[in-house]
Amino acid sequence: MNKKIDRGQATREHLVAVATGLFTEHGYDGTSIEAVLRAADVSRGALYHHFPGKDALFAAVLDTVYDRVEAEGARAIEGMDDPAVALRTACLTWIRSAADPVVRQVMLIDAPAVLGWQRWREGDEARTLGKLKAALRFAAAEGRIAPIRVDFFAHVLLAGLNEIAMLIARAEDQASAAAEGEAAAGDLLDRLLGK
């Protein structure tokens, strides 16, 4: 039971990889299952054997994107012991991750509409948002923000960072926009957490 399982895994991963490219380039609606099938050279039956539907394929793609972004964040703050510095570093890393068209189109634009806002945020909760809240709880313990603000501010901070990332992405002058955006993000952090 190994060759079969391996083959199935390979097909599944191949589909996710191909779909990632197409979803990024043409968006969810602009990408037909037909196109994925052709690009991956896989049959309809095979795809629907691995995924119950188009949205499940999208969810799988989203999952791998999360994995990558999470890994980048974890690598960036590896070994840091000051939580405040780690938070700031993680936020800047996230903005830089969001420069990637895959992250932008899949995570920020299509995900809320495809999965629904609720499911989207629940997914986030278990990943990025959860860690952000932990960091803010630390700030609350230090008396920098009121404990009751932790949840709202975590969401506000994430949404604000996402917005900055999108602004940078669509700017004409990428380099200067990135510099200004990252400075703005730092400023936002200072103000939000009462430096």
Partner DNA sequence: GTATGAACAGACCGTCAGTCGGTTTGTCAA
Partner DNA sequence: TTGACAAACCGACTGACGGTCTGTTCATAC
How many other C-beta atoms can be found within 10 angstroms of the C-beta atom of residue 170?
A: 9
44 vs 75 by CB, closer to DNA: 44
Secondary structure letter of residue 98 according to DSSP = T
Least Å distance, CB 19 to DNA, is 11
HSE-up of residue 94 (Cα within 13 Å, Cβ side):
25
Q: Considering only residues 128-147, where is the footprint of a second copy by CB under 8 A?
A: 146
Least Å distance, CB 135 to a second copy, is 17
For residue 29, state whether it binds a second copy (rule: CB under 8 A): yes
For residue 31, state whether it binds DNA (rule: CB under 7 A): yes
Q: Which residue in 2, 143, 170, 172 binds DNA (CB under 7 A)?
A: 2
Q: Are 154 and 129 in contact (CB under 8 A)?
A: yes
HSE-up of residue 58 (Cα within 13 Å, Cβ side):
25
Binding map of DNA across residues 40-79, x = CB under 7 A, - = no contact: --xxxxx-xxx-xxxx------------------------
Q: Which residues contact 102 (CB under 8 A, 6 or more apart)?
A: 20, 24, 65
> What does the alpha-carbon distance between residue 66 and residue 186 come to, in Å, rounded to a whole number?
23
Q: Are 153 and 132 in contact (CB under 8 A)?
A: no
46 vs 92 by CB, closer to DNA: 46
Q: Are 20 and 102 in contact (CB under 8 A)?
A: yes
> What does the alpha-carbon distance between residue 26 and residue 107 come to, in Å, rounded to a whole number?
14
For residue 160, state whether it binds a second copy (rule: CB under 8 A): yes
Q: Which does 164 bind (CB under 5 to 8 A by kind): a second copy, DNA, none?
A: a second copy
Contacts to DNA by CB under 7 A: 1-5, 7-12, 31-35, 42-46, 48-50, 52-55
Contacts to a second copy by CB under 8 A: 27-29, 108-110, 112-114, 116-118, 121, 146, 148-149, 151-153, 155-156, 158-160, 162-164, 166-167, 170, 180-181, 184, 187-188, 191-192, 194
